[in-house]
Amino acid sequence: MPRVWRFIPHDEPRVRRLSAALGVAPLTAQVLIARGLDEPAAAKVFLSGTLHDLYPPESLPGVIEAAERISTAAKAGRRITIYGDYDVDGVTSVSLLWHCLTLLKAKVDYYIPSRLDEGYGLNCDAIRKLHAEDPSRLLVSVDCGICSVDEAALAKELGLELIITDHHSFGPTLPDAATLVHPRLPGSTYPFGELCGAGVAFKLAWAICKVMHDGRSASPRMRDFLTDAIGLAALGTVADCVPLRDENRLIVRYGLRAISTRSGPGLKALMLASGIDPKRPADAEAIGFRLAPRINAAGRLGQAGLAVELLTTDKPERAQTLADYLDTLNKERQQVERRMLKEAKELVESHPGGADAAALVLASHDWHPGVVGIVAGRVAEHYQKPAVLIGLDRTTSCGQGSARSFAGFDLHTALMACGQHLIGCGGHKAAAGLRIEASKVDTFREMFCAYVAEHHQPTESDYELLVDAEVRLADVTAAAIRELDTLGPFGQQNPRPSFVATNVELAGPPKTMGEGNRHLALLVRQHSGSPLRAVAFGRSEWAAPMADAGPLSLHFVAEINRWNGNERVELRLTDWQGATVSARD
């Protein structure tokens, strides 16, 4: 379905008032107003919030009891095992808490389940193994466990003390663990329920530092640690695509500074391997598109422990070896991803009516279970509907799948409704994972698609592209972009400002670029002005129709492209039309 461009109403007097009150350009004021920040006081808080605006850790449900249990175990010399997930959020959560406990001289180790052999979250075999090795250990989950009712029951039966910290959606029954730490527990009054696992781990580490000091504040040494640790929390927050508002935005804002100036050997080496300029401040896009995929590649290909080692090592040479290896794994992942996406599209197109279903459930014995999630996201975006991709195992007759949402559909609720056909599932509204017997895929597909058809009716607003302002290309300057960057960090629910320019002409023929010529590059200008470079990633198919369209209307975000010490304004196209667009609400 063609995207609808929705222009935010423009009120010039309000723009002038806010511009004068804040001392910002009218364009920046217009963007703030478009995002509901039309009062100077609220806009100032948004622009200048500090770490003091983070909610105190003791307001997080369960965190003080968890911190006290961990403190007691550390002082008694008991082993504390951090049980994490294999994605970026899980890896950063494990690393953050490991650093905290190591600095406090606790006896600490960690356990990351194999994505390929064990799947997501706590599992009974791992709990039995950990108990057999050390029955007195304290087991602390991060970024997982809130749905692990059977696993928690087993731990209690064995006498293994278990603390669960998580942020995912939970079912009707909560696990019976020693302590649960979660921002949305029933009865919770925590002001912000959208922390990721690393955000919860950061609050737990903060609480531990306070409990281990005087109960009221962290020691100077541990406050210094927390200033470093917020970088790991930011990495997990951006990678997990939670809303970048409220304290998530503060975590990322200050975490980016920590990543740029206070990173340990592992993150420094990974930034170098990712091509991030160490002389430039890191931004959320660098995390999301460069650091996170390399960390994720380790987990997707069954080696998440190496990513934790990278983020915890104090040896620069080992860090560089690990970073280079993760970079190699990421390139392998990209090759596998491209092949799987091609095959997924072929599956849809080869089945009559496949593209017309309310949702897509695709399965193959040739798909890597560690990569199905990222491809499911591509499929959901391409076909504009919820998608589930399943990698089937020929030896076990089972499959591991990942689901990605479209237009706000609640995947977790849908999978729970279809749970009779699944071995297990977990996740949240936008992304979820599942395990299934191969023989039940067809039945699950039928029930899942029927559920989506009944409970999900996308409207025109689901296909909208918001427009913060209509602009002249001459006004899209480097100075304007730098000021707009103060509205960041950008991400979920705080996207980079999007603009529309009309009556734009090509200053040369469109060109394809990149591996497989998948991307598009072109030069554009308006009213005979200076040409600007524009790129459209993954949109090489636009080349021919744009060349024949005449005057263009472009929907884009504006960025500063920095390369070899040079800077230039660049437009990143998100959509285009072949005629002048009339603004409307």
Q: What's the pLDDT score for residue 579?
A: 64
> Is residue 433 within a helix (H) or strand (E), and if so which, with residue range?
strand 431-437
Q: If one looks up domain 55-257 in CATH, what number appears?
A: 3.90.1640.30
Q: For the chain, where do the domains classified as CATH 3.10.310.30 start and end?
A: 351-458
Roughly what angle, to the nearest 10 degrees, separates helices 316-350 and 372-383?
A: 40
| Structure token digits, residue 78 | 């008991």
Q: What's the pLDDT score for residue 331?
A: 92
All residue ranges of the chain with pLDDT < 70 are: 1-2, 579-585
Fold held by 351-458: Diaminopimelate Epimerase; Chain A, domain 1 (3.10.310)
* 4-9+463-577 classified as CATH 2.40.50.460: yes
| Structure token digits, residue 239 | 């990678």
Coil, strand or helix: which one is 139? strand
Q: Over 332-383, what HEC string results?
A: HHHHHHHHHHHHHHHHHHHCCCHHHCCCEEEEECCCCCCCHHHHHHHHHHHH
Q: For the chain, where do the domains classified as CATH 3.90.1640.30 start and end?
A: 55-257
Q: What's the pLDDT score for residue 582?
A: 46
Length of the chain: 585
Q: What's the pLDDT score for residue 328?
A: 94
